Structure 1
Amino acid sequence: MTIATIRRTSLAALALFAATSAQALTLPTNALVADSVQVFSDDAMNAFALFGIKVTALGNATPVAGTTNSFALPITSVTAGWDLKIKSGDAKGSALEFSREVAGVKKALTLANFTINYEKGQVLADATAKGGVTSKQAVVYNYTVEQPLKLKYRFPLSITLDETLSNLKLDSEMLKKFNAALEVNEFLSNAVIPQISFGALEQDIAVKFRKKAVSTKLYVPAP
């Protein structure tokens, strides 16, 4: 691929982003190098250890190499309004399974098909207890913006957009789902979990293509 072709591709992607934003449309990003990285805090990892919880990446999600607390969730689409402000971002097809064993039996809660709702400051996901019914787009976290979305350009062809959302606090209703699905000690869980931040979400979108586009098919946990 020539430099001219790459330049045209980059400019076309930016033009498409601007055009779709102006019309409050959704821009597919599953073919771009675009990831949301869930970085669990030390407090969250200690809480997982306390309750014997294991976190497993499923679907499009993958563990970040060299870490034990970070998972990459490919961003499959971004929706913006006429004012060019991002309204939401989706990571369809990505899932994180939280599991533990109780008397030799696996208990699990799977969060899948994540959405960041920028208007409400919330992270949503489909929540499914093992063998249970899925709660579609339930609120998982409330967050604060540590680093607002910003565009970086490096001559001649490097264009990226990145942001950091921090202080992820587990929603009270989601805590109930965790307690029920994983059968943890509710008194201890309710005393510990609301006090901690689950870490941060780091979004990084580059105007360049993946070797292979990720699937946008919704992740459905096995029964």
Structure 2
Amino acid sequence: MLIFITFITLINAETCQCNTGICNAQTCYCPYPFAGEHCDYILKLGYGMNYTAEFDHYIGHNRIKEDNDCKSDCNKQGLCLQSQCYCKSPYGGQYCQFKLIFVDESENNSTQIQTLDNLFNIHMDLQTSKNIMTQIKQFDKREMYKKCPVPCRNGGYCVFGQCMCKSPYVGDYCQFQIEFEQGMPHYQVYMLMIFSCFVGIAITVIIFMILKFIEDEKKKYELISGENKDQWQKK
């Protein structure tokens, strides 16, 4: 809370206009999905294959979201506030992992699609506050093919200096393997419940029949004993 109040103070003390961002030392720091010198662009990241450009990991039907406290220290291109990165221009993204090169709205309004190693597509476009569509002209090639500090393990790919892991591996370098407990399918659970009910009913019926048999045998014994006693008394 103290950090948050400190940043609010910085906002009031500075004069730069940062839309939804934070002004610090005459520089705007923008929260995702905003980007640009004044945080007046909305960065939209599309989907491709089993990954998104924000490096969420999808494993089967389970989604594992990397949520370290300001991952990679916002790649040293932003400020960390309440576990969220605020990026300075020209960087953007949830962890300030993209170096962006902007173009004028009048130059080109088409969609930019960049394919990386046929693994997945990253689709980016920008929308200004005036709803004028523009695009990111290109990625900084040095950033795009930046090497990972440690080689990606277990068949992972290095993209933007970060490892993209294949299922079921996760981690900064794909060093961890996720194991999911194999739960029993629903129909088997239902069958087990039905079977248990039948077994319970069967056991109850058997116990009832045994008790009834014992009761009948007891009555027969008492009847026979009574007849024998009557015959003995007559004699």
Do both share a fold (TM > 0.5)?
A: no
The structure with higher relative contact order (CA 8 Å, sep 6+) is: 1
TM range (shorter): under 0.3
- The structure that has the greater radius of gyration is 2
Please identify which structure carries the higher helix content. Answer: 2
TM-score, normalisation: structure 1: 0.26
